[in-house]
Amino acid sequence: MARPVQFNVKNEGGKIVTMGELPDGHMGEGFFASKLSDIVGLARKNSIWPLPFATSCCGIEFMATMASHYDLARFGSERVGFSPRQCDLLMVMGTIAKKMAPVVKQVYLQMAEPRWVIAVGACASSGGIFDSYSVLQGIDQVVPVDVYVPGCPPRPEAIIDGVMKIQELVGNESLRRRNGDRYKALLESYGIQ
Ligand code: SF4
């Protein structure tokens, strides 16, 4: 039996109904005007390219999140990259040993701005159950984190929730934020110029 197909835009009784949300703006026949930052935000939030930095069990949950049942592609994030220079979302999933911390930072530094970071699971967020001399007690000790996903491990739904929170941040971020004093001070607090 054929599966029903949904289109992004459909015509219902002569009225165009869009299924994605439009930013605030003015619409007339044949035109739509909005703020540049809203349009850029809309494009960015629906085309986030993740870099999965998976070191242990939470990475398996991410694999489930990418697979057909949960399907992260629905959020425009199916293009997973392993080159930091082509990605804008660093997803750290798993226990990060202190020896690995400089590598996490190096990967972050190789990403171009604008870049965002999710700490997935208890280990990446806080060291988790490994309160030991060898484990980093949260990746926010070496790079700034935008969203923390709790759980040991978090279910794919929780990871998707984290990605949606990032989408919210990305969609609403001012185009000037990265040049602002506050952002520069944040990077400087991590020793990043
Ligand atoms: S938070 Fe739990 S499931 Fe995730 S990497 Fe740590 S021990 Fe494994």
What pLDDT, on a 0 to 100 scale, did the predictor assign at position 9? 52
What pLDDT, on a 0 to 100 scale, did the predictor assign at position 21? 72
Measured between alpha carbons, how far is 159 from 65 in angstroms, rounded to an integer? 7
> Ligand 1 center to residue 156 CA distance, Å?
13
20: left (phi over 0), alpha (psi -120 to 50) or beta: beta
Q: How far is CA 188 from CA 71, 103, 114, 161, 182, in A?
A: 37, 18, 16, 29, 10
Look at ligand 1, atom 6, and give the residue with the nearest C-alpha: 123
Element (H, E) at 52: strand 50-54
Query: Could you identify the atom of ligand 1 that is nearest to the CA of residue 122?
Result: 1
Q: Which residue numbers in the chain have pLDDT < 50?
A: 5-7
Residues 96/121, Cβ–Cβ less than 8 Å: no
What pLDDT, on a 0 to 100 scale, did the predictor assign at position 7? 47
CA 87 to chain centre: 10
Residue 57 Cβ inside 6 Å of ligand 1? The answer reads yes
> Ligand 1 center to residue 181 CA distance, Å?
35
What pLDDT, on a 0 to 100 scale, did the predictor assign at position 102? 97
Q: Which two tokens stand for residue 88?
A: 């804008």
Measured between alpha carbons, how far is 62 from 65 in angstroms, rounded to an integer? 5
Query: Could you identify the atom of ligand 1 that is nearest to the CA of residue 121?
Result: 1
**Residue ranges of domains in the chain, CATH in brackets:** 48-164 (3.40.50.12280)
